[in-house]
Amino acid sequence: MNLHVINTGYFKLDGGAMFGVVPKSIWQKTNPPDANNLCTWAMRCLLIEDGNRLILVDNGIGDKQDQKFLSYYYLHGNDTLNGSLKSAGFSPEDVTDMFLTHLHFDHCGGGVKRAGEKLSLTFPNAKYWSNRDHWNWATYPNVREKASFLPENIEPMLHSGNLEFVDPGGPSPFGSFDIVYVSGHTEKMMLPVIKYKNTVMCFVSDLIPSSSHIPVPYVMGYDTRPLMAMDEKETFLARAAEHGILLFFEHDPAIECCSLKRTDRGVRMDRGGLLKDFI
């Protein structure tokens, strides 16, 4: 097995929304905002090369939305989904499995591309993986999340015939990782827990968007069930600290991966850095 970091660029989100009830006087020390109170965040994905399977975990925001939509998020940086795949030695046609932690636009938008008015799959040979509970949640969205579940990102997966559903009650269909399900951020978000050599690592998606979000009360204003999100995070962090599980961050602007330690203030980051520093 080989692991490849796939960087798809950076975007900006409101700092208050990203840290919920945590005061700006605290969170700005680690995530300084610009004049509009916006902070920079990564859209970092993971490519798992496992035998004859090439599994991509999430795929960023994509570029098919109109300029008005994209202007809200201030996309920047030189990294792109296709460019990062090419740097790893692959093309979109090589991907066999597109694993989606959840269907918010900054996690699944790159999985569908536009040519004129036509929408098609970016990864034509891949199975696109979700689960039925989350799929139903996304396709019949609540008012709070409706702006994050875009039909143009979701419907082409179904119409293509490439959509597959993981069974939360059954075994993982992936030999390279197990799946943890959490529902505080959104219904049945899926987190891959990857065994690589002598290391276990979890792609923590929006359960813990960045290293700054490790303290249990630091949950996003975007979380649909914040108290559940805190309980899930606390349980997960205790397990991760006990078993030496590394965290892989999707949105941290600088730190790709970290180890954990227990302190008198709870579980905290021990060492942070690039994925290659840990494997």
Domains and CATH numbers, the chain: 2-277 (3.60.15.10)
Beta strands in 51-176 (DSSP E): 53-57, 97-99, 112-115, 118-121, 127-131, 163-166
* Predicted pLDDT at 115: 83
Q: Per-residue pLDDT tens for 120-148?
A: 999 999 999 999 999 999 999 999 999 99
Percentage of the chain lying above the pLDDT 90 cut: 95
Q: Fill in the DSSP letter of residue 146.
A: G
* Predicted pLDDT at 203: 98
As beta bridge partners, residue 47 has 4, 56
Query: What is the rounded average pLDDT of the residues 1-14?
Result: 97
As beta bridge partners, residue 199 has 196
How many C-beta neighbours within 10 Å does residue 100 have?
28
Q: Are 50 and 96 in contact (CB under 8 A)?
A: no
For the chain, the residue count is 279
> Strand 112-115 to strand 118-121: parallel, antiparallel, or no bridges (unpaired)?
antiparallel
Query: What's the Cα-to-Cα distance from 222 to each of 14, 101, 184, rounded to whole Å?
Result: 11, 16, 10
Rg (CA), the chain: 18
Q: Per-residue pLDDT tens for 101-112?
A: 999 999 999 999
* Predicted pLDDT at 171: 87
- Report the C-alpha gap between 105 and 152 in whole angstroms: 10
* Predicted pLDDT at 1: 92
The label of the residue with tokens 């798992």 reads 48
Query: What is the rounded average pLDDT of the residues 214-218?
Result: 97
Q: Per-residue pLDDT tens for 228-274?
A: 999 999 999 999 999 999 999 999 999 999 999 999 999 999 999 99
Q: Is the pTM of this model over 0.75?
A: yes
- Report the C-alpha gap between 230 and 236 in whole angstroms: 10
* Predicted pLDDT at 117: 86
